[in-house]
Amino acid sequence: MRIQILGMGCAKCEKLEERTRKAAAELGLEFQVEKVKDLQQIMAFGVMVTPALVVDGVVEVAGKVPGVEEIKKLLAK
Amino acid sequence: MFTWLEWIANLLVVDVLKIERGSRAGSAMQFFVFDTVKIFILLTLIVYAITLIRSFFPPERTRRLLAARKGHRLIGHLLAALLGIVTPFCSCSAVPLFIGFVEAGIPLGVTFTYLVAAPMVNEVALGLLFGLFGWKIALIYVVSGEVIAIASGLIIGRLKMERFIETIAMTVKVGMAPEAERPSCRQRLREAWAFTRDLLKSIWPYVIGGIAIGALMHGWIPTGGLAKVAGRGNPFAVLIAVAIGIPLYSNAAGVIPLVSELTRAGVAMGTALAFMMAVTALSLPEMILLRRVLKPRLLAVFIAIVGAGIVFTGYLFNVIL
């Protein structure tokens, strides 16, 4: 599973990454996390608010940091 | 509304902690307990209410609403200022939002109105102002914030500074916005609560710290003790307050409780308001991020106009309050 965290590097992005890693690990998924800090790449996803969570190329969350349980549900879809 | 709380604070300090009533430590302690509980109750209520309203205004919707009113400049500015309150915003999103707005054809001035209003009128500032200063000052803060945002946006729009937008903002390819599902009512309530809890978790040490320092000052600085240095008599107080306020962004949660104590000590209300607006509206990290899409001249004009608006508001309320 390819997980991307979009954000130009703020505290919220770190938090989203931390929670996503935790959620994915708890689900026992095989995953890799990539941080996308480049503005052009972020905009290409069509998001206007960061941080955003992209799973296998699909924007799942934008502009908020959901709880670990919430992220688990998104990853398990 | 909070008499019961005063009674509990009194009971706790005098009967449980056995601190003498009316002593310095006693009055500081009582003030601390009462204020902390009251502020957290109001903060929770206001943050929850605003977060709930926000779930109805995702940024894509705000952009659509604003882009649809391109022709009506004044309505566009008014709407942008109002949407600034209810659209979720974090200074780290300023750049992608800016590009998204410009790309949708929203006028530069209207975009700036939004960028000024969004951080200035935020839920934390509102909750703290309500809890510490009462609804009148909270209302004055909101209305002045909106007026400054609209005025700044109108001026920047008039200056026709479109050529000072960095080319990257115009050339970057914006992808299709992801299709968002409409959350159910229960989902909205649950998500708003989760956000409120997260937010309170991250700001409570600052709020408590601010109130604690305030409480200490409460016992030691006499009421009006600072009136000479920072009261209405000192014409430079507003300017200095704004200059100090700009780099303090991340600590708005701790700054506002302190400011409330400073006003009791004699700092004029307009000066205090200007200070808090500078803390929330103009922040160094946001300026550094915005530099990516704004050429230095436009960035400088933006800071100067918003700064001047805040200073003006400070003087205005020093005169009329």
| Contacts (Cβ under 8 Å, ≥6 apart) of B276 | B125, B129, B141, B245, B252, B255, B256, B259
User: Mean pLDDT: which of B85-89, B121-125, B291-295 is highest?
Assistant: B291-295
The structure tokens 């209520």 sit at B45
Distances (CA, A) of B54 to A24, B81, B195, B286, B317: 28, 14, 11, 22, 30
What would the mean pLDDT of B290-316 be, rounded to a whole number?
94
The structure tokens 């030691």 sit at B220
**Do the chains contact at B90 and A10, CB–CB below 8 Å?**
yes
What's the whole-number average pLDDT of chain B? 87
| Contacts (Cβ under 8 Å, ≥6 apart) of B148 | B116, B120, B277, B281, B306, B309, B310, B313
| Contact residues, chain B to chain A, C-beta under 8 Å | 58-60, 63, 88-93, 95-97, 99-100, 168, 172-178, 191, 194-195, 198, 289, 292
pLDDT value of residue B22: 67
- Find, among B280, B47, B236, the residue nearest to B144 by Cα: B280
pTM of the full structure: 0.86
Rounded-to-integer distance, Cα B41 and Cα B135, Å: 14
Residue B41 clears pLDDT 70, i.e. is over it: yes
Reported as a single tens digit per residue, the pLDDT across A29-48 is: 889 999 999 888 999 998 88
Which of B88, B91, B289 lies at the smallest CB-CB distance from A63?
B88
- Could you tell me if A22 lies within 8 Å of chain B, comparing CB atoms? no
Set of chain A residues whose Cβ sits within 8 Å of the Cβ of B104:
none
The structure tokens 């009316």 sit at B22
What would the mean pLDDT of B123-131 be, rounded to a whole number?
89
What would the mean pLDDT of B188-212 be, rounded to a whole number?
90
Q: Which residue of B has its CA nearest to A10?
A: B92
**Do the chains contact at A9 and B92, CB–CB below 8 Å?**
yes
* Range in B93-107, B110-124, B227-241 the model is least confident about: B227-241
Residue B115 clears pLDDT 90, i.e. is over it: yes
User: Which of the pair, B269 or B233, is modelled with greater confidence?
Assistant: B269
Longest dimension (CA), chain B: 69
Reported as a single tens digit per residue, the pLDDT across B142-185 is: 999 999 999 999 999 999 999 999 988 888 888 877 766 788 89
Residue B249 clears pLDDT 70, i.e. is over it: no
Structure tokens at B153: 């946006």
| Contacts (Cβ under 8 Å, ≥6 apart) of B193 | B48
Q: Which residue of B has its CA nearest to A67?
A: B194
Percent of chain B with pLDDT over 70: 97
User: Which of the pair, A34 or B250, is modelled with greater confidence?
Assistant: A34
Rg (CA), chain B: 21
- Find, among B24, B316, B2, the residue nearest to B151 by Cα: B316
**Do the chains contact at B178 and A59, CB–CB below 8 Å?**
yes
Q: Which of A1, A8, A10, A48 is catalytic?
A: A10
pLDDT value of residue B70: 77
Per-residue burial over B262-301, b = 16 or more CB atoms within 10 Å of its CB, e = otherwise? bbbbbbbbbbbbbbbbbbbbbbeebbebbeebbeeebbeb
What would the mean pLDDT of B194-202 be, rounded to a whole number?
90
At B138, phi and psi to the nearest 5?
-60, -40
Distance from the Cα of A26 to chain B's closest Cα (Å) equals 20
A61 has catalytic annotation = no
Q: Which residue of B has its CA nearest to A50?
A: B93
Distances (CA, A) of A4 to A14, A35, A53, A70, B227: 12, 6, 6, 17, 54
- Find, among B156, B83, B162, the residue nearest to B306 by Cα: B156
**Do the chains contact at B92 and A45, CB–CB below 8 Å?**
no
A10 has catalytic annotation = yes
User: Which of the pair, B225 or A25, is modelled with greater confidence?
Assistant: A25
**Do the chains contact at B177 and A39, CB–CB below 8 Å?**
no
Residue B14 clears pLDDT 80, i.e. is over it: no
Query: With contact defined as beta carbons under 8 Å apart, do B99 and B172 qualify?
Result: yes
The structure tokens 């007026």 sit at B147
Structure tokens at A63: 């502009």
**Do the chains contact at A49 and B97, CB–CB below 8 Å?**
yes
Per-residue confidence band for B310, with pLDDT thresholds at 50, 70 and 90 = very high
pLDDT value of residue B1: 66
pLDDT value of residue A8: 84
Reported as a single tens digit per residue, the pLDDT across B54-78 is: 889 888 889 999 999 877 778 999 9
Best of A17, A18, A42, A43 to disrupt the B interface by mutation (most B CBs within 10 Å)?
A: A43
Residue B224 clears pLDDT 70, i.e. is over it: yes
Q: Which residue of A has its CA nearest to B93?
A: A49
- Could you tell me if A55 lies within 8 Å of chain B, comparing CB atoms? no
Rounded-to-integer distance, Cα B270 and Cα B168, Å: 40
Per-residue confidence band for B15, with pLDDT thresholds at 50, 70 and 90 = confident
Residue B261 clears pLDDT 90, i.e. is over it: no
Rounded-to-integer distance, Cα B218 and Cα B131, Å: 17
Is the bond preceding residue B183 a cis peptide, omega within 30 degrees? Answer: no
Best of B61, B174, B195, B284 to disrupt the A interface by mutation (most A CBs within 10 Å)?
A: B174
Set of chain A residues whose Cβ sits within 8 Å of the Cβ of B89:
49
Count the neighbouring beta carbons within 10 Å of the beta carbon of residue B320: 9
- Could you tell me if A25 lies within 8 Å of chain B, comparing CB atoms? no
